[in-house]
Structure 1
């Protein structure tokens, strides 16, 4: 039996019991066997308005990486990590950029809720990104961590999902406007791509719920009931991620800090508006799913009532026949039709006649149809 993500996370969280704060222990969906073969990938973009350099850093190149060399030259650095299951790698990057041990611990714990922590030299953000699986009507989520400094941006993803590829494409274009701005604008662009992905998932969930509603209005089965539960679970997961993210972005856009320039604040407020719009649309879908559950239960109740009514009709048809048979079965010597040679046929005709009269009454009252 496949374990749920929640049960896995609880089992992994138990490994940290008794450890000191800041202990670097990976908590996520990659098990120990897969971690040995799945190697993290560290890529870096070094850019300014005129040029852009991309490279993948090996362990040796990462050890020799010096941020000050690029800062003095007026360059900006975006370092991205695919795969956060290697605690040693996260510690190396943390030491290289002087990240607090608690920040490194949060990066390794992929079960974090969206949050923001401000430090003297950087601001730390946690978000979640989702992908909708149409075949299972479920979602696959990953944690995305941001560390924004004054001239650098670090991003940590659980795996290579391609969510940031549109931003990379924009940066690779010659004379790209995004390269003329600071790393704070780059952080905004990546946050915006995360929120845009939410709307893509929301659209898929909305389409699935509409298709499900059409089926429910005809002849729902247990398959539709399972689908309703799946979509409700998806909506809960989305709300759990976006609700705190809304507060994170609101904090960034309303409070002055040293990392987001005033020119970037309007863009952050736009992302905040998108999260509010997303939550409103999500609540509408959740209400629709609750209504679908009511429709399903009403449909099941109606089918049960129809079956009970059919059984009741059959029982009522046999009641007069049972009564007549009981009367003629009494042990009296003198009874009408008892000695008549046609008495049996008269009794059967009486039973059949009463049954036909009752069927006519039931038909006129529409008890013999599926209409209510």
Structure 2
């Protein structure tokens, strides 16, 4: 699937319809984990079944169901029936590649976020979908690896900063914060690439440099397209007055919003630098062409009088007339002409140096 495309249902399909997508190489093995916690305990099922999730009931502070991999329509339909998940939201989960957004449904929040990933020298975006319900968070991620393992480690740790005393809205914030903060190390990688390209531009720019600059600009454009809407997502969560998100949690969401501002400022600065590098490359190529043309012009200009002298004495006139090149019969005629040519060449080179043309 391309960087700027996503899978849609055929025209005329009823909104909220869960239709199986065509199998591609992007399909990931499915794994479901279930986690419960409160002040005194944490219960974790790393390989839970769909039945475990549907039958799960708990009076804990929060429960968390995470679906890792590509979900089937049947699984999404069962989860939707069990927890009252909105059909439009489930359709967006199934059809990955959505633009980041936040939706407020009756008794639930639904958020789609773009997770930037740098893998094998390539930038890609993975969709993360998050539901917040009463004391329950459901997350979906179809990419490689589990992006939320740091949250699990915090919960398992003996000193987790009171995480296990928090309600589900704090867990919801923590998952959002993990996705947003993954933009910083990726921007650091892009910043190092920009520095390398700047050095290459100054030393020896070539066609490969131009290709790298265009590739960098496309990657920055993709990042902007997927990370810019994160601000809108957080604005929706901050503005919405709902008991699912307590007032105290909005302080943490505002911190996330500050992170998105910082990321976008860095991203815009990098885009400006990439645009200026293209101008520098074109200017460098033009200057190098001008330098080559200057050297060739100096060489051609230096040999013009020498060519004239050689052409003049190459004319085969009869020396019977005193006006027909009498010096051709001189004993030292040839050395004299060569000496004149050397003197003329040295004089022109000296003149060019005084003019700073060499």
Change (3 A) 1:241 1:23: same
Shift of 1:208: 2.0
User: Does the 8 A contact of 2:201 with 2:281 survive in 1?
Assistant: yes
Normalised to the residue count of structure 2, the TM-score between the two structures is: 0.89
Instruction: Give the structure 2 partner of residue 83 of structure 1.
Output: 69
Counterpart for residue 18 of structure 2: 24
Contact kept? 1:77, 1:151, Cα under 8 Å: yes
Higher-Rg member (1/2)? 2
Please state if 1:97 is matched with 2:86.
no
Residue of structure 1 equivalent to 2:165: 180
Kept in 1, the 8 Å contact 2:31–2:67? The answer is yes
Residue equivalent to 2:142: 158
Match of 1:125 among 86, 89, 111: 111
Q: Within 1, Cα distance between the matches of 2:291 and 2:302?
A: 17
Q: CA RMSD in A?
A: 2.3
Deviation, structure 1 residue 316: 0.8
CA contact (8 A) 2:65 2:138 kept: yes
Seen in structure 2, the aligned counterparts of structure 1 residues 25 and 323 have a Cα distance that, compared at 3 Å, is: farther
Residue 193 of structure 2 is aligned with which of 201, 208, 212? Answer: 208
Flag the 1:43–1:356 CA change in 2: closer, same or farther, 3 A.
same
Q: Matches of 1:190 and 1:39 in 2, distance apart?
A: 22
Alignment: residue pair count? 351
The residue number in structure 1 matching 2:240 is: 255
Report if the CA contact (8 A) 2:100-2:230 is conserved: yes
Deviations 1:98-148 (A, max 9, x none): 222211110012111110111112011000111224x63x31221000111
- Deviation sequence 1:47-101 (CA, Å, 0-9, x none): 2222111112224434xx235x32xx34521000111352322222222222222
Alpha-carbon displacement from aligned partner over 1:216-269 (angstroms, at most 9, x marks no partner): 222222332222222222221221122111111022113322321111011111
In 2 relative to 1, CA 169–256 (structure 1 residues): closer, same or farther, beyond 3 Å? Answer: same
Q: Distance in 2 between matches of 1:33 and 1:197?
A: 25
Does the 8 Å contact 1:111/1:143 carry over to 2?
yes
Q: Are the equivalent residues in 1 in contact too, given 2:36–2:60 (CA < 8 A)?
A: no
**Any stretches of 5+ residues in structure 1 without a counterpart?**
none
**SS of residue in 1 equivalent to 2:117:** strand
Q: Write the distance in 2 (CA, Å) between the matches of 1:226 and 1:34.
A: 27
Report SS of the residue matched to 1:130. strand
Of 340, 349, 371, the residue aligned with 2:330 is 340
Given that 2:61 and 2:164 are in contact with CA atoms closer than 8 Å, whether structure 1 keeps it comes out as no
Q: Is the Cα contact below 8 Å between 1:25 and 1:109 reproduced in 2? A: no
TM-superposed CA distance for 1:39, in Å, is: 2.5
1:303–1:235 distance in 2 versus 1, CA, 3 Å: same
Secondary structure of 1:145's counterpart equals strand
Q: Displaced runs of 4+ in structure 1, greater than 4 A?
A: 329-333
